Amino acid sequence: MASFCVAGELDKEYKQQKQKGMIRVDKIVKKQVLRNVWVQNKRETILERNVNVHEKPSIRWFEQNMNLDFPTSNHLHHPFHIRRAPIPTIGLPWPRPQTFETSETKLYRIKTLSVNANFSTCHVLQKAVQRYRNIFFTCSYVHFTNNLLHLKNSNFDFSMQKPSSEYMMSLEELTKLTFNVEKCSNYPTLSSDESYTLRTATSEIRIGAKDVWGALRALETLSQLIVCINDTFIIKKTRLVDFPRFPHRGILIDSARHFMSKTTIFQVLSAMEMNKMNVLHWHLSDDQSFPYKSRTFPDLSGKGAYHPSLTYTQEDVKEIIEFARLRGIRIIPEFDTPGHSFSWGYGHPELLTQCYNGERPIPGHFGPMNPARNSTYTFLSAFFKEVLEVFKDDYVHLGNDEVPLACWNTNQEVRKLFAKINDISMFKDKGTAAWNFFTERLIRDIQKIAMKRESGVKFILWQEAYQSNLNIPSDSIVQVWLGDQSLMEQVTRQGFHALYSSCWYINMIQYGVVWPKYYLCDPVGEGFRGKEDLVLGGEACLWSEYVTSETAISLLWPKASAVAERLWSDKKLRDIDGAARRLEEHRCRMLRYKTN
């Protein structure tokens, strides 16, 4: 799908009027500035021009397949079309706010903004204002142009005009940015309030929020409403009330299959802020490598990382958590257990289960963590004690997915454990009973460690833990990655909170325009028969078996933006045509912004 994000220099109508000695810049602005080139009609989308709507258009936009379709004569058997991106909107936010009122004709000029905040000591707000001030007043956004302007004999006219300097200077000026923030929390949580109000008024822009996280979301929206034309910053008259539909709007990154550089993680977090996503699910260990540099067990990364330089030090993790916190983003670590744990064994082979062929051990073949050894739990207790000290969130992701149970059946130690499990008949096989034994004990040990924490600890587990009937705490979150809406219904009817990821595996590369599929997928779709209030949201997942730091950003964005709007905006917002134009603008916006 071809697209464009370049600045245009078209001002034909203004020049023509100037030559005639009668400049009506108000007419130009009303007709052209900050408006989409495409105008929606009940029957079809036509180009904005002075024609009768019943006249057959020369070129039409078909949103279903992202094509420009050209009329053909009867003797042409195959219609002619060109795959193109839609013309972007100008100054419309993404994700779309819940209530959004704006004027097409009433504009304000912004030269500078003095900040008046009732929370002058709020460090998060201070840093955000400083960060966004640079974004507000970086003139990188002018106009769009299109090479179809040069198409001969097409009657294809959609020139976008620039208003004159005279008109720009005549606009009423906004000089103040006023905040009314009721609370300044230190770290975002699942229950954080991200709601806000924003309005332009006489001489000022007013932002209201119950907590500082809502103020951050308001600043992002404001940055998307401000447009730079002729080195002048303008904004429409706007009034909006906004809040997220779901409290958990996440991105999963996997830095174990391929190491992900700290710079790339910062880029992911910056893009998440632009899309109002608030959870980075950090998959930090897997069979392939163990990049987290533990101070308690240095051999985990010393021998388990791909290379000594491909690790995350305590300082790295602290810096990433702080970078995320200042943007209202939680960092939830995942150290997968008991499966997906082969790399733990490079530094500590005693943790894993030796697999056997009859009476003989199979050289180098180790299965999941050994549930039969007390030393396994002693080790994991010490390790997760460190994790709870380093990571600040209330939740830890324990994995618990794709546990290969066959190896346990070959190991004498684990087979002896089978005989000691009292409730083994409650499970479909002995291996699952041992898996439940491991999970119960690990969770119990971590909960004891977390008693010193003010908020304790809660757990997220992949769906296998639920489907295998493991005894997990009732306040756990089940993350669905292999299943449709019916599984979400089942999970919530059982009283568990749920996250959805099944349709949002961004790493699954497909040909063509795929974001509409992500956009229309919903954790709580039509006819949902579960408990909607237990659905917390979802995550777009970027697994890295075939993804590296060099490709992560281009694969993730802007496709994950479709997920972001689904998780933030109103459920009824399902217009692909309208979303396509705003997403095209947002893509260009993301390309222009730099990490601040």
Residue 587, domain member (yes or no)? no
Domain boundary among 184, 217, 242: 242
CATH (domain of 461): 3.20.20.80
52 versus 252: which is more confidently predicted?
252
Distances (CA, A) of 522 to 93, 376, 502, 536, 582: 21, 40, 10, 12, 20
Residue 330, domain member (yes or no)? yes
Residue 324, domain member (yes or no)? yes
Say if residue 227 is in the same domain as residue 111: yes
Say if residue 231 is in the same domain as residue 291: no
Residue 81, domain member (yes or no)? no
Asked whether the beta carbons of 435 and 417 are under 8 A apart, the reply is: no
Residue 316, domain member (yes or no)? yes
Neighbours of 495 (CB within 10 A): 10
**pLDDT score at 191:** 97
CA distance 38 to 45: 7
Q: Kindly report the pTM of this predicted structure.
A: 0.90
Average pLDDT for 562-568? 98
pLDDT at 11 > cutoff 50: no
Say if residue 176 is in the same domain as residue 289: no
| Residue 234 lies in domain | 88-242
pLDDT band at 47 (very low <50, low <70, confident <90, very high): very low
333 Cβ neighbours under 8 A, 6+ residues apart: 282, 284, 387, 391, 393, 396, 397
pLDDT at 455 > cutoff 60: yes
Could you tell me the two tokens for 422? 């009292």
229 versus 499: which is more confidently predicted?
499
- Spatial CA neighbour of 548 closest among 309, 256, 291: 256
Average pLDDT for 19-44? 37
| Known catalytic membership, residue 402 | yes
Backbone angles phi, psi at 228, to 5 degrees: -105, 120
pLDDT band at 2 (very low <50, low <70, confident <90, very high): very low
Say if residue 237 is in the same domain as residue 319: no
Say if residue 381 is in the same domain as residue 492: yes
**pLDDT score at 359:** 94
Say if residue 153 is in the same domain as residue 226: yes
pLDDT at 408 > cutoff 60: yes
Report the percentage of the chain scoring pLDDT > 70. 86
Report the percentage of the chain scoring pLDDT > 90. 72
Which of 143-147, 184-188, 465-469 is the least confident region? 143-147
Domain boundary among 191, 215, 242: 242
Residue-wise pLDDT tens digits, 351-386: 999 999 999 999 999 999 999 999 999 999 999 999
Say if residue 104 is in the same domain as residue 179: yes
Q: Of 101, 173, 350, 402, which is the active-site residue?
A: 402
CA distance 261 to 551: 12
Asked whether the beta carbons of 548 and 530 are under 8 A apart, the reply is: no
Say if residue 167 is in the same domain as residue 235: yes
Domain boundary among 196, 223, 242: 242
Residue 186, domain member (yes or no)? yes
Cα torsion 567, 571, 577, 579: sign: negative
**pLDDT score at 278:** 98
Let me know if 2 is exposed, middle or buried by CB neighbors in 10 A (0-12, 13-18, 19+). exposed
- Spatial CA neighbour of 386 closest among 295, 451, 284: 295
pLDDT band at 17 (very low <50, low <70, confident <90, very high): very low
Say if residue 268 is in the same domain as residue 218: no
pLDDT at 211 > cutoff 90: yes
- DSSP letter (8 states) at residue 145: -
Say if residue 394 is in the same domain as residue 527: yes
Say if residue 218 is in the same domain as residue 255: no
291 Cβ neighbours under 8 A, 6+ residues apart: 255, 256, 259, 284, 285, 301, 305, 306, 310, 311, 312
CA distance 514 to 83: 14
Question: How many domains does the chain divide into?
Answer: 2
CA atoms within 13 Å, Cβ hemisphere of 575: 9
Q: What is the mean pLDDT of the chain?
A: 88
pLDDT at 521 > cutoff 50: yes
Residue 58, domain member (yes or no)? no
CATH (domain of 107): 3.30.379.10
Residue 18, domain member (yes or no)? no
CA distance 132 to 209: 17
Asked whether the beta carbons of 403 and 435 are under 8 A apart, the reply is: yes
Say if residue 387 is in the same domain as residue 372: yes
